[in-house]
Amino acid sequence: MHLIEVERKRQLPDNSSLRQRLTERGYREAGHLTEVDVYYSRPDVDYMKTVECLRIRKRDGFAEMTYKPPSNAATHSDTDVIAKRETNVTLGGPDQAAAANQLLAAIGMVELVRVEKARTIYRHPEHDDIIVAIDAVTDVGTFVETEVTAADTDAATIHLEEVETELGITDHPVVGLPYRDLVMAAAH
């Protein structure tokens, strides 16, 4: 059985009230990390148009390469809920991120942008399928990303909406663009 990540991102004007609400609801801080993502596209296919993702991610003691397939009506809903199957390859260590970047450049991939973010992850001890992340993205702002992992996309979407309601974030503007796109737009 393949699990699908169902997630939605919202702008977060005030993260202190959300942090308090997470604590009140039983969520605990599960980690704080800095991630640096380098995004790529093919020279013959514009991943900005197809809404594909190929990235090398590096963080404290860890590196991975991730591919997410193109977006379409089935993967990206009208309410900006995204449900895609990711392909992740864990690299041998953070020093391997540079080698992976060199490999992609050597085969002709085009570097799009570098995204740096400080992420605080929250988890609930009774709900392993939910992750709430508060992201401070350099040059762009602060966001909350709620993610539910499940085999059934429709049930996961309903559950995602319940979590957002419980956390009191449904009035925060939904952000349909990936951080990659937001950082690229801010640079121009």
pTM greater than the 0.75 cutoff: yes
pLDDT at residue 73, rounded to an integer: 67
pLDDT at residue 116, rounded to an integer: 96
Mean pLDDT of the chain: 90
pLDDT at residue 155, rounded to an integer: 84
Count of helices and strands (H, E) across the chain? 5, 10
Residues 176 and 12: their CA atoms lie apart, in Å, by 14
pLDDT at residue 80, rounded to an integer: 63
Instruction: Write out residues in the chain with pLDDT < 50, as ranges.
Output: none
Per the structure block, which two tokens stand in for 76? 């990206």
Cβ(64)–Cβ(88) under 8 Å?
yes
Closest by CA position to 9, among listed 167, 115, 147: 147
Four-residue CA torsion sign, 168, 164, 81, 125: positive
154: three-class secondary structure by DSSP: helix
pLDDT digits 0-9 by tens, 137-175 = 999 999 999 999 888 888 888 889 999 999 999 999 999
Residues 184 and 32: their CA atoms lie apart, in Å, by 25
pLDDT at residue 152, rounded to an integer: 84
